[in-house]
Each structure stands twice: as C-alpha cells, then as structure tokens.
Amino acid sequence: MDCEDSDAVTIAQALAWASAELQDGESPAVDSRVLLCAVLDCERTYLFTWPDKALSEAQYTRFKNLIAKRREGYPVAYLTGTRDFWSLTLNVNESTLIPRPETELLVETALALELPESACVCDLGTGTGAIALALKTEQPAWQVTGVDRIAEALELAAANAQLNGQLEVNWLLSHWFAELPTDSRFDLIVTNPPYVESDSEYLQQGDVRFEPVSALTAGADGLEDIREIIQSAPDFLSPDSWLLIEHGYTQHESIKTLFAERGFSACRGINDLNGLPRITLAQWHKS
C-alpha cells in the first residue's frame, strides 16, 4: 500500500499500515485503533462500522505523526492526552504518572472499608487525581483531599474534577504531609507513592521511560517514601482510621514490619489478580 497517497487511505488501510509499523510493540492493533480514534475523535465501534471511509490529508498526517512517536515508545496515554480509570476519563500529561488499571484495586479496597458516612479521606501523591476522584464519585459525602507536590499535577487533577461532573475535592500543594494543617485528621489515608527500586531494570522498559522518575522511584529499596508516610501518618489519623498503600509485589513483608514498628494494627495485604500482594493496609487505633 502506498501510504504517501493520503487521498486513497481508508480507515482499514491506515490501521493495517499502523499495526505493521508498531509490530515490535506490545499491542500494535489496539494502539493503532486508540490513536486513530483520537485523530478522528470517534468511538472504537466507528472504525469497525466504516472501514472504507477515507481519512482527510490532515487526519492521515496527524495519525502518521502519532504512530511515529508510538514507534519511539512514547506512551499512548500521553499521545491521546487521556486515560480511563474506574468510571472516569482523565486528562494526563507528562507531569504525572499515567493511572494504572491495578490501582483500581486500591479504590475497591478503600470503598470496602467501614468508614463514617462523611469520612475525611486523603489521597497522598494524587497525580491526575485518579484515586481521589474515583472515591469522591462513589462516595459523594466523603470529604476528599488530594495532595501532590507538583503544581502542574494539581492543576491537572483540578481540571479532571471539573471534567468528571464537577467533583468537589480539596487540592493541596504539599510534599506528603508537609503543608497539611497540623490539626487535619483523616479517617482514611490512601496512597500510590513511588515504590520502584532506583536501579530497577524495569525503568528502562516500555512506557515508564517517559514518566516522571519522581513518581516512580524511592531510593535503593523503593521504600523511602513509604517509610516517611508510615512514620508521619499517625499525626494526621483519627482514632480507628486506615492507611492504605499500593506497592510492588515483593514489598508487602517489609511494609508490614514498618506498620507494626509504628504501632499500627490489623495489618493485611490485598492480592491482585495474579495472587500477588500489591496493597497493604493497617489501622490506627490511638487518638
């Protein structure tokens, strides 16, 4: 097929060409469809319904540019500017991590806890606002605070709140607890902090190469931020409240020890679909 002849290029031809271009990637067909939908501003079903529809020259040029960037490894979510998470569609940009499907387990776990009707909830390192907004959409009576130390991320989170039904979340610029009012008390603190080991080979592969390293790594053992969070959280927790942490699949035992040393109780891990512990939570009983 002659891909320079833009007049002749149909949806089906453009997809076939793009899939071949991306064949060394993880998901050539899906990536091609998602990127073409972004160019055409259409739903996925449109591509299957109208395979013979021709792309305009401008659309085809834009599509080729996106496919070229994807070939270089650039994440699809950064190319389209959006990622679905929970029931929400979130804007994303390079100031923050792209929300992962596995983080929905953190949301599910939080929603399953027994909490007061209008619980005070804090999402530490909120990034796109994914966790804070998913919780707020499910529990509108909760008073949710989203904290991040990157101003651009907070702007994104606030915009995402507007885009998803004007969800009312309190956004705060702070490195973990540093700027929280000292009298803040939460019934639940939830966090997906950086936890990858700083020399991990994983950082040289796939989409993570393009994400902010500050959102991914935390010292040699990946636990630097988690240690700080577990140490400081009790100053901001109500009696009988919970701290929920997402982490790597090898880190549960270390985190359990950190919780015990700090005086938390009822510590347990939650396994993902692979049967690996990716969340650890514990309760704070003291006032």
Choice between 21 and 31, CB closer to ligand GLN: 31
Span from 78-86, 157-165, 187-195, 266-274 in contact with ligand GLN (CB under 6 A)? 187-195
Is 194 a residue that touches ligand GLN (CB under 6 A)? yes
At CB < 8 A and 24+ separation, what contacts does 209-215 make? 209/73, 210/73, 210/74, 210/75, 210/78, 210/94, 211/75, 211/94, 211/97, 211/98, 212/94, 212/95, 212/96, 212/97, 212/150, 214/150, 215/96, 215/97, 215/125, 215/127
Q: 95, 192, 251, 280: which one contacts ligand GLN (CB under 6 A)?
A: 192
Q: Is 148 known as a binding-site position? A: yes
**DSSP 8-state class, residue 99:** P
Q: Is 239 known as a binding-site position? A: no
Is 216 a residue that touches ligand GLN (CB under 6 A)? yes
Q: 195, 236, 264, 284: which one contacts ligand GLN (CB under 6 A)?
A: 195
Q: Is 74 known as a binding-site position? A: no
Q: Is 129 known as a binding-site position? A: yes
Residue type, 123: D
Q: Is 192 known as a binding-site position? A: yes
- The closest alpha carbon to 244, from 286, 283, 215, belongs to 283
d(CA 145, CA 37): 34
Task: Scan residues 84-103 and list those touching ligand GLN (CB under 6 A).
Answer: 97, 100
Choice between 46 and 210, CB closer to ligand GLN: 210
Q: CB of 176: closest distance to ligand GLN in angstroms? A: 14
Q: Are 223 and 199 in contact (CB under 8 A)?
A: no
Is 233 a residue that touches ligand GLN (CB under 6 A)? no
Residues that bind ligand GLN (CB under 6 A): 97, 100, 192, 194-196, 208, 216
